[in-house]
């Protein structure tokens, strides 16, 4: 990718160093920034911190649903889609980084996804399409993390108290209280230490999950291994689309510009190093969990592989091991939720804070605490009311992560660098955009179909 960047740099007009320097100085002048950019998207981090943020935003507990995705695909197609997802997203995120670096060298550093869309595609794209899609995806991820956190808490509770009377929505509220505290951390850069711990946690629960799957798969306690595809032809076809949506959402990010915004200038090459850190962990966790989980449970793999560790309420591995794995998962979910809350925080800060006042002045602290608290309370309320939000989130993922992570990066690159129409890069990017546009539409149709099938089970505050 570095060679790719160098090749295109040669094709660009040489930027005057003084002009670039003025641009960077302008970026660093707080008086030129709105409150959202000044307080939330501080550009103070290193490429190592970038790696922490990237890992938390991508290597998250939804990876525990990868064995379930394999049940719709089988071995060859499952591994193929997992590899393609890794290659395409790594490539796409690097393209976004190169575009951001290009504009930074021109003295106009983009700090937000909607800023890129505004300057490359036009002002209406940033305001009415990309901005709302990103907000929907990120806030949807916050709701999903809150719901999943509550479900994991309930699993731990039932493990220790099988006849307990506490309901799912009560655990969702408890998890929301944890999120309420973490949401007050002022800036994205301030999360670097939490995201380091998050990176360790994702490795911990992935190792635990893989070890448990291997143990159960080698014991007589596990179910018979059946890798055949279930259902009739129609269900199998829609299952393939659902599986692709799950894999795309698992690899999804949607906040690459905001993460790169946390890097101190100059930014050149730092994002690539951060992505290398992230995808090293992606390879270790995604493939180990997906392969071991599907190998152990076959087409009986649950939507969350941790659910397979219980059979008729009886643990297939020691209780303390399931308890520990769920605790690791719960703790990391809180970090993931706070990371995806940052675009919302940036919007709130821009609307209610005063960039001319100090960050921790009463004028800024009071509206910050109130607005962020209301944001988390709203997400917690939605998660508690709609425990079937996972179905809705599939639609959000199809309409959101597909455009943001698979389609727009290649479009931005082609429009910014204008590679020759005879070049391999141009046609590779066009192919990626077309293929994933089609997959996004098909995944959205499959997700809507699943909602219609599950609608009879929907009930507000259901104890699922």
**Residue 273, preceding peptide bond in cis (omega within 30° of 0):** no
Query: Which of helix, strand or coil describes residue 231?
Result: coil
pTM (two decimals): 0.89
Whether residue 107 contacts residue 22, with contact meaning beta carbons closer than 8 Å, is answered with yes
Task: Write out 121-144 in H/E/C secondary structure.
Answer: HCHHHHHHHHHHHHHHHHHHHHHH
- Supply 431's token pair: 């192919």
Phi, psi of 434 (to 5 degrees): -70, -50
- Domains detected in the chain: 36-387 (1.20.1730.10)
Query: What percentage of the chain's residues is helix, strand, coil (to nearest 5)?
Result: 80, 0, 20
- Closest to 175 measured CA to CA, from 206, 198, 136, 142: 142
CB 445, CB 241: distance < 8 Å: yes
Residues 139 and 409: their CA atoms lie apart, in Å, by 21
State the DSSP code for 263.
Answer: B
Q: What does each of the 464 residues of the chain score in pLDDT, given as a tens digit? A: 444 444 444 444 333 343 333 333 334 444 578 888 889 998 999 999 999 999 999 999 989 999 999 999 999 999 999 999 999 999 999 999 999 999 999 888 899 999 999 999 999 898 899 999 999 899 989 999 999 999 999 989 988 888 888 999 999 999 999 999 999 999 999 999 999 999 999 999 999 999 999 999 998 777 888 898 888 888 888 888 888 888 988 998 989 999 999 999 888 899 999 999 999 999 999 999 999 999 999 999 988 899 899 887 788 999 999 999 999 999 999 999 999 999 999 999 999 999 988 989 999 999 999 999 999 999 999 999 887 766 776 777 778 888 999 999 999 999 999 999 999 999 999 999 999 999 888 888 888 887 777 777 777 777 76
The sign of the torsion formed by the CA atoms of 262, 268, 272, 274 equals negative
Whole-number Cα distances in Å, 70 to 157, 229, 262, 284 = 29, 9, 36, 17
Alpha-carbon span 141 to 106, nearest angstrom: 34
The rounded distance, in Å, linking the Cα atoms of 112 and 347 is 11
Tokens for 441, please give them: 């539409």
């Amino acid at each position: 990718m570095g060679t790719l960047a160098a090749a295109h740099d040669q094709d660009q007009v040489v930027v005057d160093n003084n002009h670039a320097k003025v641009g960077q100085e302008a970026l660093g002048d707080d008086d030129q920034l709105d409150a959202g950019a000044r307080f939330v998207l501080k550009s103070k981090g290193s490429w190592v911190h970038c790696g922490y943020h990237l890992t938390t935003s991508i290597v998250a507990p939804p990876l525990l649903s990868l064995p379930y995705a394999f049940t719709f695909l089988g071995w060859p197609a499952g591994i193929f889609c997992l590899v393609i997802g890794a290659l395409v997203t790594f490539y796409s995120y690097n393209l976004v980084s190169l575009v951001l670096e290009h504009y930074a060298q021109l003295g106009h550093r983009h700090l937000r996804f909607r800023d890129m869309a505004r300057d490359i595609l036009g002002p209406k794209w940033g305001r009415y399409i990309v901005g709302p899609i990103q907000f929907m995806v990120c806030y949807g991820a916050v709701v999903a993390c809150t719901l999943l956190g509550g479900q994991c808490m309930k699993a731990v509770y039932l493990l220790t108290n099988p006849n307990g009377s506490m309901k799912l929505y009560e655990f969702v509220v408890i998890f929301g209280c944890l999120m309420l505290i973490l949401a007050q951390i002022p800036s994205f850069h301030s999360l670097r230490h939490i995201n380091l711990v998050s990176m360790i946690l994702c490795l911990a629960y992935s190792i635990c999950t893989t070890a448990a799957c291997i143990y159960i798969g080698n014991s007589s306690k596990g179910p018979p291994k059946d890798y055949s595809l279930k259902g009739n032809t129609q269900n199998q076809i829609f299952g393939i689309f659902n599986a692709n949506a799950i894999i795309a959402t698992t690899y999804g990010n949607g906040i690459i510009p905001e993460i790169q915004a946390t890097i101190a200038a100059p930014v050149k090459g730092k994002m690539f190093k951060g992505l290398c850190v992230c995808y090293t962990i992606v390879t270790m966790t995604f493939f180990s969990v997906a392969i071991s989980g599907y190998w152990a449970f076959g087409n009986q793999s649950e939507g969350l592989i941790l659910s397979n560790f219980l059979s008729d309420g009886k643990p297939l591995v020691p209780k303390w091991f399931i308890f520990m794995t769920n605790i690791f998962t719960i703790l990391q979910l809180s970090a993931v939720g706070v990371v995806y809350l940052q675009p919302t925080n940036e919007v709130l800060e821009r609307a209610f804070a005063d960039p001319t006042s100090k960050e921790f002045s009463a004028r800024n602290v009071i509206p910050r605490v109130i607005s962020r608290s209301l944001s988390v309370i709203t997400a917690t309320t939605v998660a508690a009311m709609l425990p079937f939000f996972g179905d809705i989130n599939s639609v959000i993922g199809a309409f959101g992560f597909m455009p943001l992570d698979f389609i727009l990066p290649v479009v931005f690159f082609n429009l910014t660098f204008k590679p020759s129409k005879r070049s391999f890069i141009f046609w590779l990017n066009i192919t990626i955009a077309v293929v994933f546009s089609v997959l996004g539409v098909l995944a959205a149709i499959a997700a809507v179909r699943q909602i219609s099938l599950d609608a009879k089970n929907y009930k507000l505050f259901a104890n699922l």
